[in-house]
Amino acid sequence: MVERIPPSVIDVEESILGGIMLDPSAIGRISDTLVADAFYISTHQIIYTCTLRLHQQGKPTDLLSVTNWLVSNELLEKIGGRNKLAMLLESTVSAVNIDALAQILIDKYTRRRLISVGNFLVELGYEQETPIESILDRSEQKLYEVSNAQFRRNTEHNSAISTTAYEQLLNIKPIYPTGYRDLDDLMVGFEPGTLTILGGRSSMGKSFISCNLAYMMMKKNNLPVVIFSLEMSKLQLEYRFWSLISITQDKESSILPVNTGRIQRHRSKEDPLDEYELQNMKNVSNIASQLPLYINDSRDMSLSRIASECRQIIANAGSIGLVIVDYVQMMAEDSGGNRSYELGDVARGLYKIAGELDFPILALSQISRSVEARPDKRPLMSDLSQSGILETVADNILLAYRDEYYNPDSTERGRLELRLAKARHGEIGTVKFLFDTFYGVLKDLT
């Protein structure tokens, strides 16, 4: 078989490098999209890396500056000496079309990466001992990286990192507010790439809290939310959102409050809805249908499926504001092994997905029964079921508590406490909310 040359355009590579030295302002038009690896010739990669370093340091990329940098880094002879640089400059007339030339290079680079991924997939297909789900996830991940132009290395020189950090201050990467004033004062909001654990005993309202946070993300930030529910069905969650929608409408709205218990009685035929109630439900349903909400209630949900579903949603919707997993203990396989290790694998997997796909994940977690034996039943981080790895991996840990659950005569009836027990980038503290258990609505206390 005749060996084929990988896709490349050497003359385009030369024109780009010559254009950068001819017009030092040209690199600013391509530095964000064109990486050194896109050049097929290794000496061209070195020269382009040199121009990037100079540009990041605010220095010109003319012939003299490039030569001096290469000399200082003992790379001049490796790229072919001053004659190589002179040849690149002399063969270039203008840098006016450098943007188009960069796209040509990116096209060829993408094709080379696809060839590389194809070879990887062939080898992967022969791994008979590897579960097919794992193979499909690794295959999809490789293709996703190429299709989304993630042309970057994880290891960077600090000159590039420092420049990026400063540019982020000028072009702020959003941290999405939770929509609750006091909570935002503590944790600022949901930062893309982070994992937040929401823990609490049964009936503390974890699912209600997550629905409220999801609704706020969609309403305040207009961003898609994805819920992976291993406990509740799609319809049960949908009715909870109907209740939230009905309570949060403007006073001038004709929408009447919707209670999920009323819906349950109708579905059981115990107390059918009246005609006006059905019309109200229809109006609420029409509003709900406009929410950028995705729900998956598969009981056998795995990490690879979560990643796959989210990649598809990003491809269609462009971004994800929040991913909710309810709840992590149900994702840990009960294989008879060490439960803590299995839960640790789930937590680490969610943390990895959040970082790779750049969205925040809110994962719900059970609290161990040990809290019931204490006089003060407010949960601690150590009460998280198999807590060790959750404490380590999570960026934020929120713990839910309602005093009226344990003390019927409590002076804190209708209140819910959220304790921020861990904040990797903020302060810990406790926030109180008004919590209407009849409608499942969370509100700022004042």
- C-alpha distances out from residue 214 to 135, 181, 261, 308, 325, Å: 32, 15, 21, 21, 11
Task: Look at the block and give the residue holding tokens 């964000």.
Answer: 32
Task: Return the pLDDT at 212.
Answer: 93
CB contact set of 49 (below 8 Å; sequence gap of 6+): 36
CB contact set of 90 (below 8 Å; sequence gap of 6+): 18
**Residue length of the chain:** 446
C-alpha span between 211 and 435 (Å, rounded): 13
CATH classification for the domain delimited by 181-444, as one of 3.40.250.10, 3.30.830.10, 3.40.640.10, 3.40.50.300: 3.40.50.300
Token representation of residue 259: 């209670």
- Residue 272 has phi, psi (to 5 degrees) of -60, 150
Task: Return the pLDDT at 324.
Answer: 95
Token representation of residue 281: 């439900």
C-alpha span between 31 and 102 (Å, rounded): 10
C-alpha span between 263 and 273 (Å, rounded): 8
Task: Return the pLDDT at 335.
Answer: 52
Task: Return the pLDDT at 280.
Answer: 86
In SS3 terms, the chain reads as CCCCCCCCCHHHHHHHHHHHHHCHHHHHHCCCCCCHHHCCCHHHHHHHHHHHHHHHCCCCCCHHHHHHHHHHCCCCHHHCHHHHHHHHHHCCCCCCCHHHHHHHHHHHHHHHHHHHHHHHHHHHHCCCCCCHHHHHHHHHHHHHHHHCCCCCCCCCCHHHHHHHHHHHHHCCCCCECCCCHHHHHHHCCECCCCEEEEEECCCCCHHHHHHHHHHHHHHHHCCCEEEEECCCCHHHHHHHHHHHHHHCCCCCCCCCCCCHHHHHHHHCCCCCCCHHHHHHHHHHHHHHCCCCEEEECCCCCCHHHHHHHHHHHHHHHCCCCEEEEECHHHHCCCCCCCHHHHHHHHHHHHHHHHHHHCCCEEEEEEECHHHHHCCCCCCCHHHECCHHHHHHHCCEEEEEECHHHHCCCCCCCCEEEEEEEEECCCCCEEEEEEEECCCCEEEECC
Asked if 350 and 332 touch (Cβ cutoff 8 Å), the reply is no
Task: Return the pLDDT at 377.
Answer: 82
Task: Return the pLDDT at 364.
Answer: 92
CATH classification for the domain delimited by 10-167, as one of 2.40.37.10, 1.10.860.10, 1.20.1740.10, 2.20.130.10: 1.10.860.10
Task: Return the pLDDT at 151.
Answer: 46
Note the pTM of the prediction, 2 decimals. Answer: 0.66
Residues of the chain with pLDDT under 50: 1, 150-153
How does the average pLDDT of the chain come out, rounded? 84
- C-alpha distances out from residue 417 to 209, 349, 378, 397, 410, Å: 11, 29, 9, 13, 13
Domain locations in the chain?
A: 10-167, 181-444
Longest Cα separation, the chain:
90
- pLDDT digit string, tens, across residues 325-342: 987 887 776 555 556 667
